[in-house]
Amino acid sequence: MSMTPSSELDPCILVIFGATGDLTQRKLYPALASLASAGRLPDSFAVVAVGRRDKTDGMVRQEANRAAGVDAGKVNVDRAGKLFQRLHYFKMDFDDTAAYPRLRGLLERLDEEYHTGGNRIYFLAVAPHYFGTIAAHLHSQGMAANTGPWQRVVVEKPFGRNLVSARQLNQRLTQAFSEKQVYRIDHYLGKEMLQNLMVIRFANTLFEPLWNSRYIEEVQISVSETVGVEGRGAYYEEAGALRDMVQNHMLQLLTLTAMEPPAALDADSIRDEKVKVLRSIRPSSLEELASSAIRGQYGRGMIDGRPVVGYRQEERVDAASQTETYVALKVHIDSFRWSGVPFYLRTGKRLPVRSAEIIIRFREQPGVLYFRQKHDMLGPNLLVIKIQPEEGVFLQFNAKQPGTQSTIVPVKMDYCQNCHAGLNSPEAYERLLADVMRGDSTLFTRWDEVEYAWNFIDQIALMWEKSEAKLELYPAGSWGPLGADRLLHANGHKWLLPFQCLLSERPSYSSPDG
């Protein structure tokens, strides 16, 4: 899964539908500029921005330079500037059948100008209800034939709202593009430490033999955000945290943590093992789900010392909204490796810190020797995969404190790969765009992954709907509803706080022979 030099990439044109939107400005233009700066784009390459607003080539080039920080010198000005000189704008309504032949004509002219050979990437940065419409028109105009030159389509989340809508959406897409041409993006999979997780597991004798129920007590996967809905109230009212975060990001973290070693490092071998995890999630009755799926919604509170409104006071949000902004789940994977090990997942908005971590807590030693007395005062053995904002690995174990007494303390080994100047990790979209260009689908979700994920999510949504499960309010700036704590207490566990868990909350003690 290494980045390919530009000389080994096929020439192509990137066509961005919805190019005047927020995603293109915040993520795609900066990612393209960074790839250009690093010499990671094909030598023959161009971009076509497709949108419904009245703009000129000059206007979108200025916007791209500004969004990517070219004018501010944040990237290589010469390389990024030359890239955006190859940026062209095409105005159209996505429903306008007559516009697609004109788009095809523009792309054919650009093929001749830039020697791109008919290879295309169609990035659909649009609302999901346009996916099928755009795909059907591209197919009808012979722009998705994939015979000789290749064409690939990238779709953003949300991929449907439930299993039924996802199947309908997929059917429309695959009528125009084959499964191998479809790249369903989950930007979490582009994060450096998620890719590193497989290396940590499968390239180290230190960890893989211990990666099972015999040695692991519990796994906690947490993604916390300090922000609210940030003007996306209408979208969030439809999605909620369950569909916005759990269905994609959280379940991807789960599958990479729990998967078996793949037969090879090719895309299908890795994705086969991820699907097996989703298939192995223990099915539960509505009654069982009611005690293992907690939902909450933030109210008024304080973030970074300033007051913030509650979710129901946000713009374009129902004043009596029952939409969840927080989800906590207890999941069991019925496999030989993970039998009896609970996986705790939680994600929420307006929490105290921004963080994404996978925490592995190992089992304690038998109650002998140092554990004979006061064994609960020892620090737990922890392995923490830090995904954001720090990227790295943390290991905590017990050792004797220097001195004349036999005092045991938790000690820390901490590796941070983005803490030093000059060692900036690529942004997720940089990696993902480069992978689409070289046809590597490893970090993209296959249809059966989406299908099994929605099947699990639909069970939870149905339970909440039928049982009228209580929506617990929590103050902004807190760690969420009390029900999330009760979820773990039932197993004698507690949430390990981001970064604070790195400093053991348990005091040291002197051993009996001290």
| pLDDT tens-digit series, residues 410-447 | 788 888 877 764 445 568 899 999 999 999 999 999 99
Residue type at 226 in one-letter notation: T
Token pair listed for 102? 């004109």
The structural architecture, per CATH, of the domain 190-232+239-296+323-468+479-510 is 2-Layer Sandwich (3.30)
Give the pLDDT of residue 273. 96
Contacts of 426 (CB under 8 A, 6+ apart): 3, 34, 190, 192
Residue 139 falls in the annotated catalytic set: no
Pick the CATH number of 6-184 from 3.30.470.10, 3.40.50.720, 3.30.300.20, 2.115.10.20: 3.40.50.720
Q: What are phi and psi of 381, to 5 degrees?
A: -75, 120
Task: Give the rounded distance of the alpha carbon of 114 from its chain centre.
Answer: 34
Report the alpha-carbon distance of residue 469 to residue 328 in Å, rounded: 13
164: left (phi over 0), alpha (psi -120 to 50) or beta: alpha
Structure confidence at residue 145 as a pLDDT band (50, 70, 90): confident
For residues 508 and 398, give the distance between their C-alpha atoms in angstroms, rounded to a whole number. 10
Domain boundaries, the chain: 6-184, 190-232+239-296+323-468+479-510
pLDDT of residue 476: 97
Sign of CA dihedral 366, 260, 263, 280: positive
Taking the C-alpha atoms of residue 72 and residue 70, their distance in angstroms, rounded to an integer, is 5
Rounded to two decimals, what is the model's pTM?
Answer: 0.90
Average pLDDT over residues 127-140: 94
What pLDDT is attached to residue 514?
A: 36
pLDDT score recorded for residue 403: 74
pLDDT for residue 498: 74
Q: Assign residue 230 a region (left: φ > 0; alpha: ψ between -120 and 50; beta: otherwise).
A: left
6: confidence class by pLDDT, cuts 50, 70, 90: low
Residue 152 binned pLDDT confidence (cut-offs 50, 70, 90):
very high
Whether 167 has a pLDDT exceeding 90, the answer reads yes
- Please choose, from the candidates 355, 385, 328, the residue with its C-alpha nearest in 3D space to the C-alpha of residue 226: 355
- Mean local confidence (pLDDT), 355-362: 94
In angstroms, the Cα distances linking 127 to 132, 235, 239, 482 are: 11, 10, 13, 35
- Please give the mean pLDDT across all residues of the chain: 89
Tens digits of residue pLDDT in 76-99: 888 988 999 999 999 999 999 999
pLDDT band at 113 (very low <50, low <70, confident <90, very high): very high
Closest CA to 384 of 356, 351, 422, 363: 356
Q: 471 with 327: CB under 8 angstroms? A: no
Residues 261-309 have pLDDT tens digits of 999 999 999 999 999 999 999 988 888 888 899 999 999 999 989 999 9
Catalytic residue among 249, 375, 420, 489: 249
